């Protein structure tokens, strides 16, 4: 059975985080990468992918500097004139920022991609793989990579001799079945709205466990398909990630990279 869907596509860029772990003292989207705010790279990556009919950026409420950066990017990023452009105040948490953006998605949009501003180097190929799976009938699609480290589950524990508090292993899931998940994550817009309505019913402790949009769709019992991500699509979280991204931009490793 083939079900090929068409319709307008919105890309939401969530850029309203504060960047605590990066430790620059300014929101991460404003932190310089290659001499420009990180957000400039992310926005240009979205524009270059050529899949967006609407681009909506969620920024920290009251961040006039980032609002001005977005205003400049609306013309300098190369977005075609027909692309609808919105900047909204983000929420307290990432899900709140997605919800603020969903409120301004145009009525004729059928699919929406949610992308972290903190992934400034995501290649077009990843956007293409997501949108093409959506066209081919998926209603939720995420990019992922096989994990390279062995992953353990742990529980709090005390050392027998001293009672010192640490952790002990409670299990080791088979690595071959584990994936490290990235963005952009793509959804049928109505499914994502339903998923976020569900998110709004969660208790604070449960809501704190929600780290991506796909988790909410999974909770609704809907299928989430997985396409190949990219090592270029790393999330800038800590200072070493920023070092790596700077090196990637300078490009000395480029010939040795194989992912699209
Ligand atoms: N994000 C958001 N709104 C929030 C929190 C996060 O839009 N209230 C966005 C971030 O801007 C980022 C993405 O979600 O693009 C992933 O979040 P993360 O890497 O955790 O970024 P920060 O929350 O900014 O960083 P930290 O957790 O270290 O403070
Ligand atoms: Mg965060």
Q: What is the pLDDT of residues 50-62, one digit of tens each?
A: 999 999 999 999 9
Closest ligand relative to 92 C-alpha: 1
Write the pLDDT tens digit of every residue in 63-109: 999 999 999 999 999 999 999 999 999 999 999 999 999 999 999 99
When pLDDT is cut at 50, 70 and 90, the band that residue 253 belongs to is: low
| 182, two tokens | 């990235």
Write down the pTM of the prediction. 0.95
* Token output for 32: 């310089």
Structure-block tokens of residue 96: 């709140």
Neighbours of ion ligand 2 (CB under 5 A): 17
Q: Please name the residue ranges forming H helices in the chain.
A: 38-49, 64-76, 94-102, 124-135, 189-199, 204-207, 213-219, 239-250
Burial of 66: CB neighbours in 10 Å, binned 0-12, 13-18, 19+ = buried
**DSSP per position, 81-116:** TTSEEEEEE--SSHHHHHHHHHTT--TTEEEEEEEE
Antiparallel, parallel or unpaired: β 109-116 and 36-37: unpaired
pLDDT in tens, 196-211: 999 999 999 999 999 9
Classify each residue of 6-40 as buried b or exposed e, where b means 16 or more C-beta atoms within 10 Å of its C-beta.
Answer: eebbbbbbbbbbebeebeeebbbbbbebeeebbbb
Ligand 1: which atom is nearest the Cα of residue 237?
19
94, 120, 122, best to mutate for ligand 1 pocket (most atoms within 8 Å of CB):
94
- Within 10 angstroms of residue 122's Cβ, the number of other Cβ atoms is 26
Atom of ligand 1 nearest to the CA of 27: 24
Residue with the larger pLDDT of the pair 2 and 81: 81
Q: Does the C-beta of 237 come closer than 6 Å to ligand 1?
A: yes
**Ligand 1 close to Cβ of residue 97 (< 6 A):** yes
Element (H, E) at 13: strand 8-14
| SS3 category, 60 | coil
Ligand 2: distance of its center to the CA of 128 in Å? 26
| Ligand with minimal distance to 90 CA | 1
Q: Is the CB of 116 under 6 A from ligand 1?
A: yes
Residue 184 CB–ligand 1 contact under 6 Å = no
41 lines ligand 1 (CB under 6 A): no
Q: Is the CB of 115 under 6 A from ligand 1?
A: no
Nearest Cα residue to atom 19 of ligand 1: 237
Categorise residue 38: left if φ over 0, alpha if ψ from -120 to 50, beta otherwise: alpha
Predicted confidence band of residue 259 (pLDDT cuts 50, 70, 90)? low
What distance in Å separates the CA atoms of residue 156 and residue 238, rounded to the nearest whole number?
25
Q: Is 63 helix (H, G, I), strand (E, B) or coil?
A: coil
């Amino acid at each position: 059975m083939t079900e090929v869907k068409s319709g307008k596509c919105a890309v939401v860029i969530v850029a309203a985080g504060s960047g605590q772990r990066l430790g620059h003292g300014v929101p991460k989207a404003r932190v310089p990468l290659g001499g420009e705010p990180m957000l400039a790279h992310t926005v240009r990556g979205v524009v270059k992918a050529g899949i967006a009919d609407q681009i909506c950026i969620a920024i920290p409420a009251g961040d006039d500097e980032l609002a001005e950066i977005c205003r400049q990017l609306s013309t300098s990023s190369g977005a075609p004139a027909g692309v609808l452009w919105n900047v909204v105040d983000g929420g307290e948490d990432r899900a709140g920022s997605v919800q603020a953006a969903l409120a301004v998605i145009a009525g004729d949009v059928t699919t929406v991609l949610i992308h972290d501003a903190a992934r400034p180097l995501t290649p077009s190929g990843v956007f293409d793989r997501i949108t093409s799976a959506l066209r081919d009938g998926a209603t939720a699609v995420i990019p992922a990579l096989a994990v390279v480290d062995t992953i353990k589950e742990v529980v709090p524990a005390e050392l027998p001799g001293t009672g010192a508090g640490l952790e002990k292993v409670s299990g080791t899931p088979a690595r071959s079945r584990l994936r490290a998940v990235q963005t952009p994550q793509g959804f049928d817009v109505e499914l994502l709205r339903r998923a976020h309505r569900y998110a709004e019913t969660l208790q604070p402790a449960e809501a704190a466990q929600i780290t991506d949009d796909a988790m909410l769709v999974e909770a609704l019992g809907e299928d989430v398909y997985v396409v190949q991500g990219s090592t270029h699509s790393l999330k800038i979280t800590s200072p070493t990630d920023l070092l790596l991204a700077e090196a990637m931009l300078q490009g000395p490793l480029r010939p040795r990279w194989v992912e699209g």
